[in-house]
Each structure stands twice: as C-alpha cells, then as structure tokens.
Amino acid sequence: MASLDPGGPGLAAAEPFPWYRRMREEQPISADPRRGWMVFRYRDVQPVLSDHQSFSSEFGDLGLLNTDPPRHRQLRSLVSQTFTPRTVEQLAGQIEQITAGLLERLPPEPDLIRDLAVPLPITVIAGLLGIPAQDRERFKRWSDAVVTGGGAGMPVRQAREEMQAYFGQLLDRRRSRPGSDLISALVQARVDGESLTRSELISFCVLLLIAGNETTTNLIGNAVLCLDEHPQAAAELRQRPDLLEGAIEEVLRYRSPIQAMFRIARPGATLDGQELPAGAPVLAWIGSANRDPEQFPDPDRFDIHRQPNHHLAFGQGIHFCLGAPLARLEARIALRALLQRPLVVDRERLERFQSHIVYGVRTLPLRAA
C-alpha cells in the first residue's frame, strides 16, 4: 500500500513522481487524516480546480486567490487588463533589457537562481507595482517564507506581518501621491461604486508579489534543469528558437512549479461517484495530474514537441493563473538568451526547495561546458 503521507518518503525525495504514480494506481482518491482528501488523477484534479460550485476557494487570506464568485469576478476584473497577452507582450523590450543586463553581470561561477531567475521577475513585478528598487530583496525573502511554509529561514507569520505592514504604508503614500503604477490604480479603483477595503488592497498586493515571482523563478530554473538533462532538446532549440513556446509548455507539465492546490468541498461535492464530506479540505495534486498516462502518452518522457499539451500547471477555470502570460514571456526571453551560452548545471552543488507545494531549486550553480 502506498504511503498517504505527503511529507513521507514519496515527497521528501527530490523527485515525487514515483510516489504520484503509486497513488494514481492504488489510491487515486484518498482520505488523509492530516490533510483531508487528496486526488491524483487528471480526471479528478481538473474538476477540483475548475468547478467552483462544488469546490470552494474561500479560505486563507490572499484575496483574489481565496474568493468565489461573485466577489472573485469583481476583484479579478480590476487587474485582468494588466496581464492580458497583448498588454504583457508590450513589456517584452523592457524584459529583454533587464535580462541582458543581468546576464552581462553574471559572476565567473554563477548561480542561475540568485543571478537571473530571482531578480528578473522581481524587477518586473516590482516595477508594475511601483515598488522602490531598494526594497525588492526583502520581497524575495517574504515570498519564499510564505510558499515554503516557513522553510526559508523566516516564520510564515512574520513574513505576512512584515509584508502587510509594508504594503499598508505604501498604500497610504499612493493615496496622497498616486502614480502610474498598479498599486495606485488599485487604490483608486471602484467595485460597484465602492473602494476596495484596506485588507483587500493589501491581500491584492501580497498575492501579486508572490504570484508574480515565485512561479516564474521556478519555471526558469526547472526549464534549465530539463534542458540540461536533455541536451538534444537544447540543441534543437538553439537551431529552432520558434519551438521555445512548446518547450516551455512541456516544462510546465513535466516539472510544474506549483505541485498542488487546496480547495474546500461544498455540500454535495462528488468525485468519481463518491460524495465528499461538506467542508472537507481537498488537495489536488497538479504535479501528479500532469504525469497521468490517461491524459499524456508516455508522460515521463520530456518532449518539446508534445501536442496536445493540456497541462494544469496554471490551474483551471476562474482561478487560472492571472500572471500566466507574463511568466511565459519572461521564461521565453530568459531561455532564448541562456541557450546561446555554453553553460551546464553543476548538480553536485544544486540545492532543492523543501516544499510539498512548490517544485523548484533554491540554488542552480552553473559551470562552463
């Protein structure tokens, strides 16, 4: 019998995928005494993520991420235009400049996470939010603490309190001296004729900060790991950079930056004909669904030509990741530049994230080929 403990050997390992496989085959819908219900197959994970009438997101305090309609629709409409593919594409020139500048300053023994994958998305999202450059390093520490559950050397509660206090002060300054940034726009926004509450504004800022950098950082890092493991794919991409978009989608499937999402079962919620207790937490394993052979032929093979590729890395339904276009653009620009450099991963010094939810590496040291 496969262990139900997601903190046990299966997920403590660097590669949780064998554990996912056993759970899909033996206990695809499982009741865990600590975490509620867990689902592993694509056909079960997808409705948990997308059916908001059966599975609620109303828990926690990340605002947009943890609301259901109609409030979710109202809040999302406030920032959705900032992250449309067309609007995001207008940032391409700026992102290329930031990327080029970071690569020019790479030290002799670079750490790709520290030297590129962290500062690139932080610089971009901080610029959109109007956050001063000198404050951006603190945001990475706060963000890491939240997504790792305190595993980044700072308690989650402390990180949340410091972020809330910072954004509270920044919001007060924007009320008296608005600018052209996203925070100023949120301060002045109206939903059904009413301003957002202070707590809603702060939650919005915290969510945009975390979602705007964690996913992209790990997408870039995971992509480099995949291409280092598959040099033929890397060589093909050097010759055919037009294949990068498909390659990024395969990275998102093969090593999803977010491995799982929580929902709460509403009364009457069912999975595979089985009714779940109302109010029960449900943990949908995205990383497992994206390796499900019922949906993806030969799922453990990394294939940059995979079509179709309906992965769930950015979620589904009304909670589909707002920042997906930005993450894809930043990854595409960064990888196009990195593929021109003869660097390989120094796996002996690589350090992985210790998190059940986030999949990525904390350090990614490179050496010359």
Which domains does the chain carry?
9-359 (1.10.630.10)
For position 13, what pLDDT does the model report?
A: 46
What secondary structure does DSSP assign to 319-332, as a single string? GS-TTHHHHHHHHH
For position 150, what pLDDT does the model report?
A: 57
Among the listed residues 199, 216, 14, the one whose alpha carbon sits nearest the alpha carbon of residue 99: 216
For every one of its 369 residues, what pLDDT tens digit does the chain have, with 9 covering 90 and above?
233 344 443 444 468 999 999 999 999 999 987 778 999 999 999 999 999 999 999 876 656 777 888 888 888 887 787 788 888 999 999 999 999 999 999 998 899 999 999 999 988 988 888 888 788 778 878 877 776 665 557 888 898 889 889 999 999 999 999 998 888 988 888 877 878 888 888 888 888 887 778 889 999 999 999 999 999 999 999 999 999 999 999 999 999 999 999 999 999 999 999 999 999 999 999 999 999 999 999 999 999 999 999 999 999 999 898 889 999 999 999 999 999 988 889 988 898 887 788 899 989 999 877
Element (H, E) at 31: strand 29-32
Q: Render the burial of 63-87: b for 16+ CB within 10 Å, e for the rest.
A: bbbbbbeeebeebbebbeebbeeee
* 138, amino acid identity: R
End-to-end CA distance of the chain: 44
Burial of 247 (0-12, 13-18, 19+ CB in 10 A): buried
Extract the tokens encoding 70: 């109609």
Among the listed residues 13, 52, 19, 15, the one whose alpha carbon sits nearest the alpha carbon of residue 38: 19
DSSP character for 47?
H
Which runs of E-coded beta strand occur in 72-118? none
Instruction: Answer yes or no: are the C-beta atoms of 168 and 198 closer than 8 Å.
Output: yes
φ/ψ (deg, to 5) at 246: -65, -35
For position 12, what pLDDT does the model report?
A: 41
CA distance 282 to 269: 11
Overall residue count recorded for the chain in this entry? 369
